[in-house]
Amino acid sequence: MSHLYGHFGAEGAGYSQPSALLSSTKLNIPSSLRRKELPALPRLSEPEVVRHYTWLSKRNFGIDTGFYPLGSCTMKHNPRVNEVIAQIPGIADIHPLQPEHHLQGLMSIFFEMQVMLATCAGMDAVTLQPVAGAQGEFTAIRCIQEYHRTIGESQRTKVIVPDSAHGTNPASASMAGYDIIEIPSTVDGRLDLDALSAAVGDDTAAMMITNPNTLGIFEEDIAAAALIVHAAGGQMYYDGANFNAILGKTSPGLMGFDAVHYNLHKTFSQPHGGGGPGSGPIGVKSHLADYLPGPLVGRRVLALNEKSNVSDAWYYNWVEPTKSIGKVQMWHGNSGAVVRSWAFYRRYGNELETMSEHAVLNANYLRHRIMEEAKAAGVSDAFTDGAPADIVKHEFTLSLLPLKESKGVGAMDVAKGLLDHGYMAPTVYFPLVVPECMMIEPTETESKEVLDAFAENFVKVLTEDAKVLHAAPKSTPVGRVDEVHAARNLWLRHEKGRQS
Ligand SMILES: Cc1ncc(COP(=O)(O)O)c(C=O)c1O
């Protein structure tokens, strides 16, 4: 490659055409600030760089390459129109420090999003700032904490979670300084009202729960649970990770919740997983609205004589909630993610309900197809239904305990076996209340053919030899990795000469 550098200069790494801009910028850099030596970065031509990344992308697996049934994660198709809208220069090329009147377009999107999210969840106010569901949980719990402090109830130091809760719920509450009370579920995987009644008291700050719960079952007693918690002076927090099942059908507000987070990257599409940016806005009832992190977007009608370069009849402005807990994120959160989800929501409009219906239909269809296939293949005793309910919502669980006991093949082995059949593995070992758990969530955009093929392949894996499954996956670039080592010893630096 050296002939390229010889011709166009070493700055041309990864680039093989002359650049007038490059040479004129170089002139403006004082010699005292210029490097004496070039950085030891790998230097390749543009086609080599393109080939490298294209090769890497082909080793990846994503929703665009295959079925991705990861439970609790709602891995949706991301309509490309969302990307087009997020890249409009008036949205992509602005800076959050520009004056309000420069940002009217983006602010109008934020405003609409605040209103749309508040409406579908039955809440009164929304902040778009948190950038993950877990950060939304922490933010809302901090708002509840400040609310209790302001009304003189700082003795409320306990947060109640069911034993099926996602780990982020107790983690967020604990980060805010709360003690966690875990209550057991009933044998059919639902909230136990007696256990809840026994757990609440003067020290209850909140209860955190998702509905449908993590087994994919709708908590029919949720309104009664809200009455119990409220009667004790506590607040109800809705974990919105499972919102895809109920959008347009009912709302956390109707169920009695005071605060909610939305995982825009799950329910409202936005690439996620593998590091894709998320967005976890929160919505609250009016008594908590003053505590939200600011700024929020407000608007007023433009006066006729007002000089402005905005073409709308509204003028959008930043609003600081009066008793705000403070910012939880730089600027306004992941604004690109908000814009993509806004585009998604706008296209569905009042049809959001149909989207949820299809998600629920797909989950129930797949659940029954897997049972049918298993029966036909004579392996129906390989697993039991994690959720002994006739109808689940948008996802379902299976317990692979019988297979583990009969042939030593656990949920992890089946998950790895599925990779060799060209599928992303479902979620494994969550929720913890289901032994050898597999959790499957197909989402609304998958076709019947895709679901049928997955059911057939899933059952084929169950019938495979234990030795084969223990050694799976064989077809992926790497086999079984030491996940604990990989998570604890992150290696993020480029080292000269190192190939892997
Ligand atoms: C039930 C539940 N709650 C909360 C979260 C946390 O959301 P996030 O990953 O956006 O932080 C998840 C994530 O998978 C979840 O499944």
DSSP assigned state of 35:
-
pTM of the predicted protein model: 0.89
Classify 237 as helix, strand or coil: strand
Stronger pLDDT, 52 or 127, i.e. the higher one: 127
- Cβ of 78 less than 6 Å from ligand 1: no
Ligand 1 centroid vs 134 CA: distance in angstroms? 6
- Cβ of 279 less than 6 Å from ligand 1: no
- Cβ of 263 less than 6 Å from ligand 1: yes
Nearest Cα neighbor of 285 from 246, 238, 342 is 238
Mean pLDDT of 246-255: 97
Q: What is the pLDDT of residue 310?
A: 54
Q: What is the pLDDT of residue 23?
A: 53
- Residue range 451-487, pLDDT digits in tens: 999 999 999 999 999 999 999 999 998 899 888 898 8
pLDDT at 311 over 70: no
DSSP assigned state of 88:
S
Calculate helix-pair angle for 352-376, 335-348, nearest 10 degrees. 90
Contacts of 442 by beta carbon, 8 Å cutoff, 6+ apart: 67, 69, 359, 362, 363, 366, 450, 451, 454
Nearest Cα neighbor of 283 from 324, 238, 327 is 238
Percent of the chain with pLDDT over 90: 77
pLDDT at 379 over 80: yes
- Cβ of 241 less than 6 Å from ligand 1: yes
- Cβ of 394 less than 6 Å from ligand 1: no
Stronger pLDDT, 10 or 109, i.e. the higher one: 109
- Cβ of 280 less than 6 Å from ligand 1: yes
141-150, 300-309, 322-331 — which is least confidently predicted?
Answer: 300-309
Ligand 1 centroid vs 374 CA: distance in angstroms? 31
Q: What is the pLDDT of residue 303?
A: 74
Q: Which of 129, 166, 265 to mutate to test the pocket of ligand 1 (most atoms within 8 A of CB)?
A: 166
pLDDT at 4 over 60: no
pLDDT at 20 over 60: no
In whole angstroms, what is the distance from residue 44 CA to residue 210 CA?
Answer: 50
- Cβ of 341 less than 6 Å from ligand 1: no
pLDDT band at 8 (very low <50, low <70, confident <90, very high): very low
Ligand 1 centroid vs 401 CA: distance in angstroms? 25
* Domain spans, the chain: 2-58, 80-351, 352-485
In whole angstroms, what is the distance from residue 363 CA to residue 451 CA?
Answer: 9
Q: What is the pLDDT of residue 37?
A: 87
In whole angstroms, what is the distance from residue 320 CA to residue 70 CA?
Answer: 38
Ligand 1 centroid vs 132 CA: distance in angstroms? 8
In whole angstroms, what is the distance from residue 212 CA to residue 355 CA?
Answer: 16
**CATH fold of 80-351:** Aspartate Aminotransferase; domain 2 (3.40.640)
In whole angstroms, what is the distance from residue 178 CA to residue 162 CA?
Answer: 15
Classify 183 as helix, strand or coil: strand
Q: What is the pLDDT of residue 398?
A: 96
pLDDT band at 302 (very low <50, low <70, confident <90, very high): confident
In whole angstroms, what is the distance from residue 382 CA to residue 464 CA?
Answer: 12
Q: Which atom of ligand 1 is found nearest the CA of 136? A: 11
pLDDT band at 312 (very low <50, low <70, confident <90, very high): low
pLDDT at 496 over 70: no
Q: In this structure, which residue's CA is closest to atom 9 in ligand 1?
A: 133
Ligand 1 centroid vs 240 CA: distance in angstroms? 8
- Cβ of 170 less than 6 Å from ligand 1: no
Q: What is the pLDDT of residue 9?
A: 43
Ligand 1 centroid vs 303 CA: distance in angstroms? 44
Q: What is the pLDDT of residue 45?
A: 86
Q: Tell me if 80-351 shares its fold with 352-485.
A: no
pLDDT band at 81 (very low <50, low <70, confident <90, very high): very high
In whole angstroms, what is the distance from residue 262 CA to residue 111 CA?
Answer: 16
- In the numeric block, the tokens 């990779």 are attached to 419
- Cβ of 74 less than 6 Å from ligand 1: no
Classify 290 as helix, strand or coil: coil
Token output for 378: 């004579």
Ligand 1 centroid vs 166 CA: distance in angstroms? 7
Mean pLDDT of 238-245: 97
pLDDT band at 3 (very low <50, low <70, confident <90, very high): very low
Q: Which of 163, 210, 237, 263 to mutate to test the pocket of ligand 1 (most atoms within 8 A of CB)?
A: 263
Do 313 and 286 contact (CB within 8 A), yes or no?
A: no
In whole angstroms, what is the distance from residue 159 CA to residue 179 CA?
Answer: 6
Stronger pLDDT, 67 or 58, i.e. the higher one: 67
pLDDT band at 424 (very low <50, low <70, confident <90, very high): very high
Ligand 1 centroid vs 53 CA: distance in angstroms? 30
Reported residue count of the chain is 500
Query: Which secondary-structure segment (H or E) carries 208?
Result: strand 204-209
- Cβ of 134 less than 6 Å from ligand 1: yes
Mean pLDDT of 396-415: 96
Mean pLDDT of 405-416: 97
pLDDT band at 403 (very low <50, low <70, confident <90, very high): very high
- Cβ of 168 less than 6 Å from ligand 1: yes
Q: Please, what is the average pLDDT of the chain?
A: 91
**CATH fold of 352-485:** Aspartate Aminotransferase, domain 1 (3.90.1150)
Q: What is the pLDDT of residue 309?
A: 56
Q: What is the pLDDT of residue 483?
A: 83
- Cβ of 166 less than 6 Å from ligand 1: yes
- Cβ of 214 less than 6 Å from ligand 1: yes
Mean pLDDT of 389-395: 90
Q: Which atom of ligand 1 is found nearest the CA of 265? A: 10
Concatenated DSSP letters of 133-168: HHHHHHHHHHHHHHHHHHTT-TT--EEEEETTS-TH
Q: In this structure, which residue's CA is closest to atom 10 in ligand 1?
A: 133
- Residue range 208-218, pLDDT digits in tens: 999 999 999 99
pLDDT at 305 over 50: yes
Instruction: Return the C-alpha torsion angle 328, 332, 333, 336, nearest 10.
Output: 180
Ligand 1 centroid vs 38 CA: distance in angstroms? 44
pLDDT at 7 over 50: no
Query: Which secondary-structure segment (H or E) carries 439?
Result: strand 437-440
Instruction: Return the C-alpha torsion angle 224, 291, 165, 223, nearest 10.
Output: 10
- Residue range 337-376, pLDDT digits in tens: 999 999 999 999 888 999 999 999 999 999 999 999 999 9
7-16, 232-241, 408-417, 468-477 — which is least confidently predicted?
Answer: 7-16
